[in-house]
Structure 1
Amino acid sequence: MNELKYLAAYPAQLQEQVRQLIARQRLGEYLHQRYPDRHPIQSDRALYGYVTELKQQYLKSAPNIDKVLFDNRLDLTHRALGLHTAISRVQGGKLKAKKEIRVAALFKEAAPEFLRMIVVHELAHLREAEHNKAFYQLCCHMLPDYHQLEFDLRVYLTWRDLETR
Structure 2
Amino acid sequence: MKYLKGYSPDTHNKVQLLLDRGQLADVLLGRYPKAHGVRTDKALYDYVVDLKNSYIRNGAPISKVMFDSKMQVIAHALGTHTTISRVQGMKLKTKHEIRIATVFRSAPEAFLRMIAVHELAHLKEREHDKAFYYLCERMEPNYHQYEFDLRLYLTHLDQPGGGNLWDPTRTLAEA
TM-score, scaled to structure 1: 0.96
Where in structure 1 do 4 or more consecutive aligned residues deviate above 6 Å? Answer: none
Match of 1:156 among 153, 171, 175: 153
Q: Which residue in 1 is equivalent to 2:58? A: 61
Aligned partner of 2:12 in structure 1 is 15
CA distance in 1: counterparts of 2:75 and 2:18, whole angstroms: 27
Aligned with residue 45 of structure 1, among 42, 46, 53: 42
Number of equivalences = 162
Aligned counterpart, 1:138: 135
Query: What CA RMSD, in Å, does the superposition of the two structures yield over aligned residues?
Result: 1.0
Flag structure 2 segments of 5+ consecutive residues without an equivalent: 163-175
1:101 paired residue number = 98
SS in 2 for 1:66: strand
- Unmatched runs of 5 consecutive residues or more in structure 1: none
Deviation for aligned residue 1:155: 0.3
Q: Identity of paired residues, percent? A: 51
Alignment-mate amino acid for residue 133 of structure 2: Y
Listed one character per residue, the Cα deviations across residues 44-100 of structure 1 (whole Å, up to 9, x for unaligned) are: 000000000000000000000000000001122332110000111011100101100
Cα distance per residue 1:109-135 (max 9 Å; x no partner): 111100000000000000000000000
**Please, what TM-score do these two structures have when normalized by structure 2?**
0.90
Give the Cα separation in 1 of the matches to 2:76 and 2:145: 20
CA distance in 2 between counterparts of 1:78 and 1:71 reads 14
